[in-house]
Amino acid sequence: MCTINAPHRHDVVGSFLRPERLKKARNDFEKGKIDREELTKIENEEIKKIVDKQIELGYTSVTDGEFRRSYWHLDFFWGFNGIGHIHADKGYEFNGVVTRDDTAIVTGKISGENHPFIKHYTFLRDLVRDKKGVEARFTIPAPAQFYAELVREDKHVKALLKVYPDFKGLEDDIVNAYKTVINELYNEGLRTLQIDDCTWGCLVDDNFIASFIEKSDRDKEVIRREFAERFLNINNRVFQNNPEDLVINTHVCRGNYASTWFGQGGYDKIADELFGKEDVNAYYLEFDTERAGTFESLAKVSGDKKVVLGLITSKNPTLEEKEAVIARIKEASKYVQLDRLYLSPQCGFASTEEGNHLTEEQQWAKLRFIKEVADEVWGKN
């Protein structure tokens, strides 16, 4: 089993545009035109292609493109015992578009036994088992993201209170369920786990925080600190006390749905908690637009943690100017040493199966460009 863990100088975030064949197969399955066995066969074939393509382009920490998922987060939540699939009152309001309205709700005690994502990982693991210097990396949503989804609307809270009279019990079972899944992934050979987390991307947005002021007379910064500490606590309870050779990285963004976004604001508003206290090996950070703020908050990245600069946008096909990207890397190195910096897209290319607005070839062009820039900045590796 490969022990060369992510991040790498040129890196990916995880999701890739779904091929038309895969989209058709999922649609046919939903309409009853094909069975689960046929869908899985097509998923397997398309995942093998996406893995081979990543390796061909020089990427050595590969993902399955999240090809078995409709969403980057909900499919994982639905895999827990005690969680049901329902529709929210409305989807999330992104910039100029409303997402689909699927959501997760508590139906019973939450636990992590027999999670379907274990088989998803072992298939990926076996694809690269004999490929020297290549690791199978797996992505799942953050525990804090799960918590946030379960308290999203009044009907969510009413449902969970029937099972969990107090929120402490809910948090405990979320932590235990995650620990169960992570331990099983580890036992199957996983050594690099990526935790995707948009909760921080919400907390940096003053408009998001303002939505809670209507229900409270507290100052917005007090509210922000309360949420930050709550999310930090539930994440760290999962991130800590794992095997020493399990690397846990996290990815933070402000929303990525069909090339649109949800939040805006600099990391400085939550840097003390996120960069100073979250117990992770590396941060994959959105930095492709001014919505993400400046690099100054990176000075609060504690210890020898790594920072993957998401300077290349996955939201549109335009290739960035190389010299401008290199200049931004140098600017970031004022706050984090260059040997602790890495380069990637700001997010995946398809956080949901809709995908962002670019073609597969334009997607690959972005990855070629990232490697070219990384090789120039840090040397070929």
The answer to whether residue 83 scores a pLDDT higher than 80 is yes
Say what the pTM is.
0.96
Q: For residue 155, which phi and psi values (nearest 5 degrees)?
A: -70, -30
- Average pLDDT of span 343-358: 97
Q: Which of 15, 130, 134 is nearest to 75 (CA)?
A: 15
Q: Which of 369, 348, 93 is nearest to 207 (CA)?
A: 93
Give tens-digit pLDDT for 299-342.
Answer: 999 999 999 999 999 999 999 999 999 999 999 999 999 999 99
The answer to whether residue 207 scores a pLDDT higher than 50 is yes
Q: Where are the beta strands (DSSP E) in the chain?
A: 61-62, 81-87, 93-94, 97-98, 102-111, 135-136, 138-141, 192-197, 247-252, 282-286, 306-312, 341-345
Binning pLDDT at 50, 70 and 90, where does residue 4 land?
A: confident
- Average pLDDT of span 49-56: 98
Provide the CA 188 distance to its chain's centre, in angstroms: 21
Sign of CA dihedral 362, 363, 368, 372: positive
Domain 20-378 CATH (choose: 1.10.10.10, 3.20.20.210, 2.60.40.10, 3.30.479.30): 3.20.20.210
**DSSP for 131-182, written as a single string:** STT-EE-EEEE-HHHHHHHHTSSHHHHHHHHHH-SSHHHHHHHHHHHHHHHH
